[in-house]
């Protein structure tokens, strides 16, 4: 619910503006409409929201609707392209707008909205919001027949000086794929000097959106955030400009043309045809240009031909197609105003691979992930994948298309936890199917000893997630997990589908969501299937959020990645978490994708005070084809197959450990339990340890740090530790030969008189 003070400001601002039309768009020129957006699957659903459209695109500003992740109202939450028949596509973005400081908590008290210009030729809307003592004013400009939304933002500091801000525009696609700033593919973050291009592209076969950010000096989140690092003195203003370019196909050649135009670059054209080695036309060829050895741009041709405008310079280019092999690379010297003819006639048509995966010892079919370890990996991801999963039924079978060539395939079934990856050599031929069998050596089966593993931070296809429910289940089973879990941002939309898919395989499902204010993210679970969040994460405080989590059925609430800039514990340190500390949180996350050391240490600090805040762990996977489901996980002791409530209760009781690989089997005590110690009666804790990559060491730690350490070798080991004779706690840290660790929750120690023992 919108804060009443904010709603009054919004209503006054919008009432002063003139909106044309109704919620039905006219199809010509530029229009502004008020109310729930007509963009299909759009998130701007409030009567105060506005949508701006021209002949090529539409976008919606959330003025009354709550934006994702607790962002202040007044931002772009929906963008659609106009399709060939004149209709709007589905919403393509989760969020696309200005961020004043790298997703840190956003204290906000007002939004003012002005319609600056509203004509058939151009629309301009100005939105002002506050970020603490900084006024953030953004203008959104759309011209007739333009494929770009021009954005300009001014930050004005009305308070004390602020140092080391990271501000700029972001583009978080709603599904699809990502083409990073050229030269920075795979980089989670980087400081950038003289980039080949100053843009990021989200895309799929039938759309693309490019963020052009000429101001940027740093990238975050694999180029989805393009920032400038700066300070703001008292009274100082700083401005940013950029464009969101919206296209109706995965042909991103117009992105290069837009760069040429906005930078005034000299340019030329490369054109030609694409055929297979036997002379067959490749109907929709892809031609990719590399600059300085890295992918720069591509185009998708038609009827076997292509044309690509490029800035003057030297390139390597090659051709491919959906399932086709790559052509050889050729050098292209692009000269100003010149057209270079370059055709390709050496592609090979697609082949297929069929893999059957089973266990060495039992012959039972296994769920698995199959990755290309060596061989052709398409740059343009809608032309072919590099990661595949076995079917839900029949179990253990995967079939997929590959470009012809020689491959090494990596097969993982519980990989790095229950078994080692298996490598298979394969030769794929045009038009033929290559049959492969993979027999995986499963080294341990935790469920046989009462342990059930889950990846307790995992997204499906809500907002920036790009994993449909079926593939979430397939990926989690392939990872060797024993419960399925989903935590989409502020949504339970996928609960019923994942529950049904899990039931199909007889696997427990633990339903959650990631409640996502700007100052901390939380996973409450298990939730009642389909329960809906009633609080507003952008407005309400921690106490209201946790109360609502319990209303939805949660036994436990986890503080996710608590020390990232918008983590709860980080925000508490900065005093920007509304409501302060609420002691009824239960779990502290070891998140596999960020630095988790402070979270590990914070849990131990709580234990030193005798407070039972236990670990949780998750991979924060959004895209199972490019990220690793189960990269880390929680092993939870329930004795037998649990339902969601029993699984969560065991975690609340601390009967669990977090792991990136090593497996721990306690023999005479359980994590979370209390051992009574009597003078003169020493006790030992016994464990069986296993690591498929080989054990390296095990440490027993306690209130004062390291108690004892043992160096280990081999895959399995039985270890014992004599307990210190004092009240407090002890826990294990196990490390394998690949430096993967497991952290246990504590065993509590209590000294007693002999008579009480």
Give the residue-averaged pLDDT of 70-85: 95
Give the residue-averaged pLDDT of 164-175: 96
pLDDT band at 530 (very low <50, low <70, confident <90, very high): confident
Give the residues across from 405 on adjacent strands.
428
For position 18, what pLDDT does the model report? 34
Give the residue-averaged pLDDT of 560-576: 95
Whether domain 662-757 has CATH 2.60.40.10: yes
Check the CA dihedral 166-171-174-178 and report its sign.
Answer: negative
**In a 3-state reduction of DSSP, which class is residue 585?**
coil
Query: DSSP state, 328?
Result: P
Residue 511 to residue 27: CA distance in whole angstroms:
42
Are 567 and 593 within 8 A, CB to CB? Answer: no
Task: State pLDDT tens for residues 429-472.
Answer: 999 999 999 999 999 999 999 999 999 999 999 999 999 999 99
Report the share of the chain in percent with pLDDT over 70.
Answer: 96
Q: Which helix (H) or strand (E) holds 608?
A: helix 597-608
* Largest Cα span, the chain: 96
Least confident interval from 11-20, 38-47, 326-335, 442-451: 11-20
For position 753, what pLDDT does the model report? 79
The CATH H-level superfamily of 255-347 is: Carboxypeptidase-like, regulatory domain (2.60.40.1120)
* pLDDT of 334 over the 60 cut: yes
* pLDDT of 209 over the 50 cut: yes
Task: Please count the CA atoms within 13 angstroms of the CA of 452 that sit on its side-chain side.
Answer: 23
Check the CA dihedral 409-411-415-421 and report its sign.
Answer: negative
Could you please state the CATH topology (level 3) that the domain comprising 453-660 is classified under: TIM Barrel (3.20.20)
Task: Please count the CA atoms within 13 angstroms of the CA of 614 that sit on its side-chain side.
Answer: 27
CATH of domain 351-444: 2.60.40.1120
Same-fold call for 351-444 versus 662-757: yes
Of 322, 374, 377, 375, the C-alpha closest to 349 is 322
Annotated domain spans of the chain: 4-175, 255-347, 351-444, 453-660, 662-757
Q: Where are the beta strands (DSSP E) in 563-702?
A: 587-591, 614-618, 633-637, 656-659, 663-666, 674-678, 684-690, 695-702
Q: What spatial distance separates the first Cα and last Cα of the chain, rounded to whole Å?
A: 55
pLDDT band at 757 (very low <50, low <70, confident <90, very high): low
* pLDDT of 13 over the 50 cut: no
* pLDDT of 12 over the 60 cut: no
pTM: 0.92
pLDDT band at 352 (very low <50, low <70, confident <90, very high): very high
Residue 654 to residue 661: CA distance in whole angstroms:
19
Residue 504 to residue 494: CA distance in whole angstroms:
16
Are 327 and 347 within 8 A, CB to CB? Answer: yes
For residue 141, count CB atoms less than 10 angstroms from its CB and return exposed for 0-12, middle for 13-18, buried for 19 or more. Answer: buried
* pLDDT of 388 over the 50 cut: yes
Q: Cα 492 to the chain's mean position, in Å?
A: 17
Task: State pLDDT tens for residues 652-705.
Answer: 999 999 999 999 999 999 999 999 999 888 999 999 999 999 999 999 999 999
Check the CA dihedral 489-493-495-498 and report its sign.
Answer: negative
* pLDDT of 25 over the 90 cut: no
For position 680, what pLDDT does the model report? 82
């Amino acid at each position: 619910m919108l804060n009443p003070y904010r709603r009054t400001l919004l209503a006054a601002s919008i009432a002063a503006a003139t909106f044309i039309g109704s919620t039905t768009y006219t199809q010509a020129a530029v229009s502004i409409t008020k109310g729930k957006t007509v963009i299909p699957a759009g998130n701007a659903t409030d009567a105060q929201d506005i949508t701006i459209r021209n002949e090529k695109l539409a976008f919606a500003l959330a003025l009354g609707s709550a934006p994702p992740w607790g962002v202040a109202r007044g931002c772009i939450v929906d963008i659609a392209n106009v399709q060939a028949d004149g209709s709007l596509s589905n919403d393509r973005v989760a969020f696309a707008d200005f961020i004043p400081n790298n997703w840190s908590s956003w204290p906000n008290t007002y939004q003012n909205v002005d319609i600056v210009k509203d004509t058939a030729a151009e629309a301009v809307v100005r939105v002002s919001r506050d970020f603490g003592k900084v006024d953030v004013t953004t203008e959104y400009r759309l011209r007739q027949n333009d494929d770009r939304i021009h954005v300009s933002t001014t930050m004005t500091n009305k308070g004390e000086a602020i140092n080391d801000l990271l501000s700029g525009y972001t583009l978080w696609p709603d599904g699809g794929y990502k083409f990073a700033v050229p030269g920075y593919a795979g980089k989670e973050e980087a400081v950038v000097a003289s980039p080949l291009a100053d843009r990021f592209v989200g895309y799929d076969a039938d759309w693309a959106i490019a963020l052009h950010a000429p101001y940027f000096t740093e990238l975050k989140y694999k180029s989805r955030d393009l920032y400038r690092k700066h300070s703001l003195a008292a009274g100082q203003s700083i401005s940013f400009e950029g464009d969101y370019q919206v296209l109706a196909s995965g042909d991103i050649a117009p992105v290069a043309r837009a760069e040429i135009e906005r930078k005034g670059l000299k340019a030329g054209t490369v054109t030609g045809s694409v055929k297979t080695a036997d002379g067959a036309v490749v109907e929709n060829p892809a031609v990719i240009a590399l600059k300085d050895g890295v992918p720069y741009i591509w185009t998708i041709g038609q009827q076997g031909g292509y044309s690509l405008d490029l800035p003057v310079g030297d390139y390597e280019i090659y051709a491919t197609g959906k399932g086709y092999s790559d052509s050889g690379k050729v050098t292209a010297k692009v000269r100003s105003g010149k057209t270079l003819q370059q055709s390709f006639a050496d592609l090979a048509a697609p082949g297929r691979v069929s893999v059957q995966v089973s266990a060495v010892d039992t012959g039972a079919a296994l769920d698995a992930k199959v990755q290309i370890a060596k061989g052709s990996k398409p740059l343009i991801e809608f032309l072919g994948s590099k990661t595949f999963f076995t079917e839900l039924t029949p179990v253990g079978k995967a079939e997929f298309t590959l470009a012809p060539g020689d491959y090494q395939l990596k097969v993982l079934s519980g990989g790095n936890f229950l078994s080692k990856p298996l490598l298979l050599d394969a030769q794929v031929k045009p038009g033929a199917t290559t049959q492969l069998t993979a027999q995986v050596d499963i080294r341990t089966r935790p469920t046989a000893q009462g342990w059930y593993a889950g990846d307790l931070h995992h997204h499906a296809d809500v907002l920036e997630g790009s994993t449909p429910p079926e593939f979430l289940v397939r990926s989690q089973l392939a990872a060797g997990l024993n419960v399925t879990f989903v935590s989409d941002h502020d949504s339970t939309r996928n609960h019923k589908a994942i529950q049904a898919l899990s039931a199909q395989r007889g696997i427990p499902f633990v339903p959650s969501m990631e409640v996502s204010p700007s100052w901390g993210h939380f996973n409450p679970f298990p939730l009642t299937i389909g329960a809906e969040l009633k609080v507003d994460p952008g407005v309400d405080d921690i106490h209201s959020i946790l109360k609502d989590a319990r209303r939805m059925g949660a036994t436990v609430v986890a503080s996710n990645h608590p020390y990232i800039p918008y983590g709860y514990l980080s925000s508490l340190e900065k005093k920007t978490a509304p409501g302060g500390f609420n002691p009824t949180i239960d779990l502290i996350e070891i998140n596999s994708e960020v630095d988790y050391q402070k979270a590990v240490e914070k849990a131990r600090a709580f234990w030193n005070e005798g407070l039972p805040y236990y670990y949780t762990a998750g991979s924060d996977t959004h895209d199972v084809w490019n990220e690793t489901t189960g990269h880390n996980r929680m092993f939870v002791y329930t004795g037998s197959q649990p339902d969601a409530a029993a699984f969560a209760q065991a975690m609340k009781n601390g009967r669990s450990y977090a792991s990136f690989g090593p497996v721990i089997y306690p023999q005479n005590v359980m994590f979370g339990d209390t051992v009574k110690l009597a003078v003169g009666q020493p006790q030992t804790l016994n464990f069986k340890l296993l690591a498929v990559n080989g054990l390296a060491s095990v440490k027993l730690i306690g209130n004062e740090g390291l108690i004892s350490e043992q160096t280990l070798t081999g895959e399995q080991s039985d270890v014992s530790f004599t307990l210190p004779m004092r009240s407090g706690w002890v826990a294990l840290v196990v490390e394998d030969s690949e430096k993967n660790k497991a952290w246990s929750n504590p065993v509590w120690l209590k000294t007693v008189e002999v008579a009480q023992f």
